[in-house]
Structure 1
């Protein structure tokens, strides 16, 4: 089992700040019109409610495992400890790290690409100029992360203030100048509870869940969290509830000024919203703040993901080079540089619309469903000693598994097949690696 990097130095405020900055990012600003377009009606707000419900239920699984195994690497440790068979646990944890080397850079790249997309509102960019901007964001993040964890905690709180301040400004403008109660009063107009509505909720939830991802980032930093048995569950609950309230109010604020029929066709709906209320300068200012929010998200995501290959390498289950830490800052610099390099390449190759569904499809089976199943397997032995236990166990676990399967189906068969293909390839690599190690011994 991997050990904490050094001394635990991140408290509840810093842990919650890291989670919330990772959750917001560019996601809600880009996916807001997508969600409205998929739902095609004023009832699009239900998709944001569905995303929050799934996040809270799944966070109960993360809370039990995170409080019980508060170590760097998060799901890597959960999967290794949860399965009663040591061989299966090793395979599942390896598959998680294997997928992380691809999906983590995709997450980082998606925020960087979104940054470049919104940046083009301020000044038109050619295709290659846009790629240079997104790649430059990744490089800046890697440089910024080359420092001690306590300094990063302070930076995260500052970025969190910017994130919350930006969303509160949007909400305040809608409340002051829009018909703020109208979207809530009309959200049930035209709604029909049938198969089509359920399918629309499923497809739209792929986008909203993407915007909530990151509520568990504190678990990847478990080795740095003070009093983890209390602060890990609390930070996740506070993050989800707080972000849900902000997302809901922001959506209501936007469509109280811009009709949903117009909002769903806008690439820069937030900028358009503020432009309409305050003129061109206000539109540019809000765009600048959104860029800071996107930057903060890349920062937080890269910080959390960098601990996963590190934890696996410390355990001897991954390439040893990833276990190296900086001699002065005591952070896993090889892991940071590797993930940043891959994210840089992805930011040059892909579009934002290509990666949102792929991110979820790659993670659901091994990470979200895998560790939920692992928690069920722990029910009769180790779980009785856990410092945190969810209410009504195991009902929330079964609900989480069912909801994740629905999200996987909603990503589309091509994405789901791609995710499963990565798992199969990972299994082949794992057994090849085990065979080579046995031969060396």
Structure 2
């Protein structure tokens, strides 16, 4: 395989890489999904969904850590899928499918952050639906401009953004002790844990939302070609990020449950703003909202940074349009890929709604990226047991196997229309690969030989 990281600068330290991971993970996600999560679980037992999401992040993080340490190159899963399946036709098809779905779902992730930002902004100022779309689009443009610089500058900006994010969470959790009501936080109805199909459907749908809030623990793998000492720092960054964010999310959810009845939480469009307003006053609620908006913009910053490396990796490897392989001559970053992602994300932010975007993002990625990658790790271990592994997951193969089960549980708990849509995108990608791309590659190989 071509060395796709050759033109990139390994300028990100462990602190900077972890900061990028964490601001990617937080974003607007937990602040807009809490009402959905509490409503789906119908009470304080919603904490189970946060715990299951954290467990899945740790398990899947083990897979990403092993692969990221072994192949620390730009592109993350694109590189992993091709290598763990032995650089075979199947592996190349899986890599293509990853890029295929990325050019759709990555702009959806960008759009979700921008849409969430504009929705939360309406707590501070009244905006019409059209004005909200204008704000979403403007934010995507602004973040694209901020990312148009070298990776070392971005690393410094990321640390500052994480300080704001982490400080906001600590303020949120610490404030909860002012008027904490243990009855609201820890009292469960008599049927709260009845293991009926309805319970598991609710848990699956709630976990889908918590997983959305945890996504980003692997962003460091997309930036593998720009991480210092990646064999050690990629696994460290992933596990530090997941552990730190899990503690913050659980603390946040418990404190909010202790501040107001779960029915009020489930019905709130601005649950964090309402939380601070109730504990302090309306002015403090507005300050908290402003900080949430900064966090949302920070997440969009990290998301676009990581995803812009996937088309670049594929193009440099000859599996995507060549123009995406271009690196800025002085700033050393894949500027064409970044501009493309920003452009499509801008359009999507004008077209879609938050709730449908979140579900589409998760269901679209489960089969090819998360399950395909975990199955691939098992295959790689058993097919090539003597391969070099700078980091090897603990208790192999349990993390990968349990992770696959949880991913499939989340997938089949989703509305059928999203499952069908994800399957349709994959099948269309298979058709394009087998009927267009593969014959072209075989023809080129025949000419060379």
TM-score class normalised by the smaller sequence? over 0.9
The residue number in structure 2 matching 1:80 is 82
Cα offset for 1:184?
A: 5.2
C-alpha change, 1:188 and 1:22, in structure 2 (3 Å) is: farther
Cα offset for 1:199?
A: 2.3
The residue number in structure 2 matching 1:411 is 414
Of residues 411, 435, 438, the one that matches 1:434 is 438
The residue number in structure 1 matching 2:212 is 210
The residue number in structure 2 matching 1:114 is 116
* Number of residue-to-residue matches in the alignment: 440
Q: Does 1:164 align with 2:166?
A: yes
Instruction: Name the TM-score, length of structure 2 as normaliser.
Output: 0.95
Q: Does 1:260 align with 2:262?
A: yes
Of residues 271, 274, 277, the one that matches 1:275 is 277
The residue number in structure 1 matching 2:4 is 3
Distance in 2 of aligned mates of 1:360 and 1:101:
15
Which deviates more from structure 2 when the two are superposed, residues 225-234 or residues 73-82? 225-234
Distance in 2 of aligned mates of 1:255 and 1:22:
25
The residue number in structure 1 matching 2:62 is 60
Aligned 1:6-405 pairs, distance under 5 A: 6-84=8-86, 86-179=88-181, 181-182=182-183, 185-186=186-187, 190-195=191-196, 196-384=198-386, 385-405=388-408
SS of the aligned residue for 1:3 comes to coil
C-alpha change, 1:348 and 1:409, in structure 2 (3 Å) is: same
What residue ranges of structure 1 are gaps of 5+ in the alignment? none
SS of the aligned residue for 1:7 comes to coil
Distance in 1 of aligned mates of 2:384 and 2:12:
27
CA RMSD of aligned residues (A): 1.5
Q: Tell me if the contact between 2:110 and 2:304 (Cα under 8 Å) persists in the aligned partners.
A: yes
Cα offset for 1:434?
A: 2.7
Deviation digits for residues 260-318 of structure 1, max 9, x if unmatched?
A: 11111000011111111221211111110000000000000000000000011111111
Which deviates more from structure 2 when the two are superposed, residues 126-135 or residues 378-387? 378-387
Deviation digits for residues 117-162 of structure 1, max 9, x if unmatched?
A: 0001111111110000000010001100000000000011011111
Which deviates more from structure 2 when the two are superposed, residues 384-393 or residues 234-243? 384-393
Distance in 1 of aligned mates of 2:278 and 2:87:
60
Q: Tell me if the contact between 1:42 and 1:189 (Cα under 8 Å) persists in the aligned partners.
A: no
SS of the aligned residue for 2:35 comes to helix
Q: Tell me if the contact between 1:61 and 1:397 (Cα under 8 Å) persists in the aligned partners.
A: yes
What residue ranges of structure 2 are gaps of 5+ in the alignment? none
C-alpha change, 1:338 and 1:23, in structure 2 (3 Å) is: same
SS of the aligned residue for 2:217 comes to coil
Distance in 2 of aligned mates of 1:363 and 1:317:
19
SS of the aligned residue for 2:320 comes to coil
SS of the aligned residue for 1:175 comes to coil
SS of the aligned residue for 1:343 comes to helix
Which deviates more from structure 2 when the two are superposed, residues 48-57 or residues 185-194? 185-194
Cα offset for 1:7?
A: 3.2
Distance in 1 of aligned mates of 2:384 and 2:10:
24
Which deviates more from structure 2 when the two are superposed, residues 241-250 or residues 191-200? 191-200
Cα offset for 1:257?
A: 1.4
Which deviates more from structure 2 when the two are superposed, residues 253-262 or residues 51-60? 253-262
Distance in 1 of aligned mates of 2:91 and 2:27:
33
C-alpha change, 1:398 and 1:149, in structure 2 (3 Å) is: same
Distance in 1 of aligned mates of 2:385 and 2:151:
31
Q: Tell me if the contact between 1:206 and 1:357 (Cα under 8 Å) persists in the aligned partners.
A: yes
Cα offset for 1:414?
A: 0.9
Instruction: Name the TM-score, length of structure 1 as normaliser.
Output: 0.97
Q: Tell me if the contact between 2:184 and 2:261 (Cα under 8 Å) persists in the aligned partners.
A: no
C-alpha change, 1:140 and 1:189, in structure 2 (3 Å) is: farther
Distance in 1 of aligned mates of 2:184 and 2:61:
29
Deviation digits for residues 193-227 of structure 1, max 9, x if unmatched?
A: 41232222111101000000000000000111111
